[in-house]
Amino acid sequence: MKDSVLIETFRYVRRSRSAMFGLFVICFFVFIAVAAPLIAPHNPLVQNLKINLQPGFWADKRTYFLGTDNFGRDILSRIIYGARISLTVGFIAVIIGVLLGMTAGVVAGFLGGWVDNVIMRIVDIMFSLPSILLAIVIVAILGRGLDKAMIAIGITYAPQIARIVRSQTIVVSNSEFIEAARAIGTPSLRIMVVHVLPNILSVLIVYGTLSIGSAILDAAALGFLGLGAQPPTPEWGAMLADGIHSITGGYWWVETFPGIAILLTVLGFNLLGDGLRDATDPRLRRKA
């Protein structure tokens, strides 16, 4: 019996070293995010100015493995707790973007006509601004804060998803089984939900996975600008902003380790997303 698409995709991803490395990195950060209260050596919010900017293991300071920041807070503990915030922001922002973009793309691609023109013109207007600039404008309107940043990032991702979903919906809508459903009088809403959406889910999963890494990076950028997570929240972008002046004084660890955490997380999602894309696209699938 022929294996399901899900099983075939999993087998292909498992054969891809880069995708498996990306999955390992993601699982690692998810684990430390879930187990943060158990594995974090110190409270990430406690300040002690007597030990500020203390180096870590390279200077044989075992109490603070990665050193302390300019407020005397343990950097390792803040990175561990920051994984919770950064991953949550990435997932929720992408979910918001997928829901908005999926709805707009399916409606535009399936109904066509003036509905398609109106939705796509709105999408074109949103595309006229760079995504990070659009996110800054939205945060400026909604106000600062982590929840506002998630909404802003999600809205900026919606146009990209809408275009991809619209193109896939147009292809699926011209299929024979859709014509048959229309011929027997099936309501348009039921066709979109029951017949169209299941056939574009693979595209949404792949693009959503790739977008999570970018969303984490955008959240870090907003946090660095002071528009996302507010002090003393242990968010990786905000940690970079807090230590921007320390690096010029030779305290390189304050900026380096949060930056490495962002780099590895984004890399993990990108590698896994690339593997899923190759696995779900027959044109890109390599022979085993």
The rounded percent of the chain whose pLDDT value lies above 70 is 93
Instruction: Single out the residue of 146, 143, 151, 137 nearest to residue 96, CA to CA.
Output: 151
Give 80's pLDDT tier (boundaries 50, 70, 90): very high
In this model, does residue 40 exceed pLDDT 70? yes
3-state helix, strand and coil shares in percent for the chain, rounded to the nearest 5: 75, 0, 25
Give 75's pLDDT tier (boundaries 50, 70, 90): very high
Please name the residues in contact with 238: beta carbons below 8 A apart, sequence gap of 6 or more: 223, 224, 226, 228, 229, 230, 231
In this model, does residue 218 exceed pLDDT 50? yes
For 53-71, write each residue's pLDDT tens digit: 888 888 876 678 888 888 8
Give 283's pLDDT tier (boundaries 50, 70, 90): low
How high is the pLDDT of residue 34?
Answer: 93
Please name the residues in contact with 197: beta carbons below 8 A apart, sequence gap of 6 or more: 102, 106
State the DSSP string of 19-34: HHHHHHHHHHHHHHHH
Provide the mean pLDDT of the chain. 85
How high is the pLDDT of residue 16?
Answer: 78
Instruction: Give residue limits of the domains in the chain.
Output: 5-37+89-280
How high is the pLDDT of residue 97?
Answer: 92
Our CA angle for 55, 58, 61, nearest 5°, is 55
State the DSSP string of 218-242: HHHHHHHTTSSSPTT---HHHHHHH
For 220-279, write each residue's pLDDT tens digit: 888 888 888 787 888 888 888 887 777 777 888 888 899 999 999 999 999 888 888 777
Pick the more confident residue, 228 or 40.
40
How high is the pLDDT of residue 3?
Answer: 46
How high is the pLDDT of residue 62?
Answer: 66
Phi then psi dihedrals of residue 65, to 5 deg: -60, -40
The rounded percent of the chain whose pLDDT value lies above 90 is 26
For 182-208, write each residue's pLDDT tens digit: 888 888 888 888 888 888 887 888 888
In this model, does residue 77 exceed pLDDT 90? yes
In this model, does residue 288 exceed pLDDT 50? no
Q: What tokens were used for 22? A: 């990306």
Distance of CA 83 to CAs 31, 127, 137, Å? 9, 30, 26
Give 39's pLDDT tier (boundaries 50, 70, 90): very high
Q: Are 66 and 79 in contact (CB under 8 A)?
A: yes
Count Cβ atoms within 10 A of the Cβ of residue 90 and give its class: 0-12 exposed, 13-18 middle, 19 or more buried: buried
Q: For residues 204 and 102, what is the distance between their CA atoms, to the nearest angstrom?
A: 8
For 147-184, write each residue's pLDDT tens digit: 888 999 999 999 989 998 998 888 888 888 888 888 88
In this model, does residue 8 exceed pLDDT 90? no
Q: For residues 51 and 36, what is the distance between their CA atoms, to the nearest angstrom?
A: 23
Distance of CA 117 to the CA centre of its chain: 29
How high is the pLDDT of residue 99?
Answer: 92
> CATH for 5-37+89-280?
1.10.3720.10
Instruction: Single out the residue of 3, 6, 4, 1 nearest to residue 202, CA to CA.
Output: 6
Q: For residues 179 and 195, what is the distance between their CA atoms, to the nearest angstrom?
A: 11
Partners of 74 in beta bridges: 68
Buried b (16+ CB within 10 A) or exposed e, 231-256: eebbbbbbbbbbbeebeeeebebbbb
pTM: 0.85
